[in-house]
Structure 1
Amino acid sequence: MIVERAYAHAVGHDEDEWPWSVPCVRQLLAEGLRFTAPVTFLVGENGSGKSTLVEALAEAFGLDPYGGSHDWKYATHRAKSPLGERIRFDAARGGRQMVRSWSARKGFFLRAETALDALDREGFEPDAKSHGEGFLAAFRGKFLVPGLYVMDEPEAALSFGSCLELIGHIDHLANTGAQVVCATHSPLLTALPGADIVEVGDHGLRRVRWEELELVDHWRRYLSDPAAYLRHIVE
């Protein structure tokens, strides 16, 4: 692992303004976020703040919030987000050099909306591949060495089989000294054995088991009886 805790201090902030009004951000300010396993999944509804959180974590580690690796020049010229510029890390034993030395840091931020542009800038020519294959090119070619790998809904472009391949890449990273923090809606990804799952919502942040996730319950019930859901939606 690279980091064991993320925390932030915001002096004089307005608690009614974004991002300080988001429950998970408030909890981060109050308690910090501990990482207890090499792979952490953040799961929550749209608008829960999980993407805000993973983007800020990536920024704080020096990864381009647009998407890309630490050693790539920022594609965006904007300043860091109010949260990203305040986050600090406590290093895990294996990540002390990376946390202390900017030049030693390794990692990649993959966000669904900008992934193909980010890959194109780093020489992967994703236009020569399908959307999903373009995503997998990053996992095969850039997710290789120990570092902090932050992902925002990587399953967006992937089929069932490709999600299983991604699980294999994530597991390999975890077993070779890297750390992964991933915001996701996928019951496939979150089933990775040994992963830590943090549910994000109005409650803030809380750890849950895979079988306790609301999204897992909904998928089970939907696949068992789609009509039970669809009768409330379609005519």
Structure 2
Amino acid sequence: MIVEHAYAHVASYDADEWPWSVPCVRQLLADGLRFKAPVTFLVGENGSGKSTVVEALAEGFGLDPWGGSHDWRYAGPREKSVLGEQIRFDAAAGGRRMLGSWSARKGFFLRAETAVDALDREGFAPHAVSHGEGFLAAFRGKFLLPGLYVMDEPEAALSFASCLELLGHVDQLVKAGGQVICATHSPLLTALPGADIIEVGEHGMQRTAWHELDLVDHWRRYLADPRSYLRHVIDA
């Protein structure tokens, strides 16, 4: 692993203003976030703050907030967030050299909504293939070396089979010394053996087993009986 603890200290803030109004952000400020496995998934509803946290973690490590690798930081138009500026890390045993030297840091930040632009900037020509193939090109070409790899809802562009391929890349990456932090809605991705799962919501952040996740329960029940859900959103 590269990092074992992320934290942020803010002297004062208005708890009614974003991002400080988000429960998981306030918990990050109060307690920090410890990483217990090479792969960490943050899971939660839209608006829960999971993407806010993973973006701040990427920025704190020096990855471009627009998406891209450490070598291309701040090449995009997006400015660093107020939370990202405050993020600090404690190194795991395998990451002390990388965290001790800015130039030694390696990694990649993959944002679902800006991935095509980031990949194009780094020479992957994603417009020449499908959206999903463009994503997989990044996994095949950039997710290789030890470093911190942050992803925000990568399943947005991927089919079921491509999600499985992604898990294969993630498995190989962590075996090579990499660390992955991923915000996701996918029950498929979060089923990766050995991954640490953190459920994000009004409660803040709490570690949860895969089979106890709300999203797993909802998908299981929906696939068993779609009408039990659809009757609430579709007129008879």
Q: Bin the TM-score by the shorter chain.
A: over 0.9
CA distance, structure 1, for counterparts of residue 89 and residue 199 of structure 2: 21
User: How far has the Cα of 1:142 moved from its partner?
Assistant: 0.4
Match of 1:160 in 2: 160
CA distance, structure 2, for counterparts of residue 135 and residue 182 of structure 1: 14
- Counterparts of 1:202-217 in structure 2 under 5 Å? 202-217=202-217
Are positions 1:118 and 2:118 aligned together? yes
Are positions 1:6 and 2:6 aligned together? yes
Aligned-partner SS, 1:215: helix
Alignment deviations for residues 51-77 of structure 1 (CA, whole Å, 9 cap, x no partner):
000000000000001000000142335
Greater Cα shift, 12-21 or 135-144: 12-21
CA distance, structure 1, for counterparts of residue 129 and residue 161 of structure 2: 16
- Counterparts of 1:12-91 in structure 2 under 5 Å? 12-91=12-91
CA distance, structure 1, for counterparts of residue 108 and residue 47 of structure 2: 24
CA distance, structure 2, for counterparts of residue 4 and residue 169 of structure 1: 22
Contact 2:51 2:183 in 1 (8 A): yes
Aligned-partner SS, 2:71: coil
Are positions 1:99 and 2:86 aligned together? no
Match of 2:143 in 1: 143
CA distance, structure 1, for counterparts of residue 78 and residue 163 of structure 2: 32
User: How far has the Cα of 1:78 moved from its partner?
Assistant: 4.9
CA distance, structure 1, for counterparts of residue 71 and residue 187 of structure 2: 32
Give the TM-score of the pair, scaled to structure 2: 0.98
- Judged with a 3 Å threshold, the aligned counterparts in structure 2 of structure 1 residues 233 and 163 are, in CA distance, closer, same or farther, namely same
CA distance, structure 2, for counterparts of residue 197 and residue 101 of structure 1: 29
State the percentage of identical aligned residues: 79
CA distance, structure 2, for counterparts of residue 231 and residue 22 of structure 1: 32
Are positions 1:227 and 2:227 aligned together? yes
Are positions 1:182 and 2:182 aligned together? yes
CA distance, structure 2, for counterparts of residue 185 and residue 25 of structure 1: 19
Aligned-partner SS, 2:199: strand
Alignment deviations for residues 167-198 of structure 1 (CA, whole Å, 9 cap, x no partner):
10111111111000000000000000000000
Structure 1: stretches of 5+ with no match in the other structure: none
User: How far has the Cα of 1:79 moved from its partner?
Assistant: 3.9
Alignment deviations for residues 14-63 of structure 1 (CA, whole Å, 9 cap, x no partner):
12111111100100011000000000000000000000000000000000
Structure 2: stretches of 5+ with no match in the other structure: none
Q: How many residues align structurally?
A: 235
- Judged with a 3 Å threshold, the aligned counterparts in structure 2 of structure 1 residues 121 and 9 are, in CA distance, closer, same or farther, namely same
CA distance, structure 1, for counterparts of residue 105 and residue 224 of structure 2: 46
Greater Cα shift, 143-152 or 8-17: 8-17
> Any runs of at least 4 consecutive aligned residues in structure 1 with deviations exceeding 6 A, and if so which?
none
Q: Note the aligned Cα RMSD (angstroms).
A: 0.8
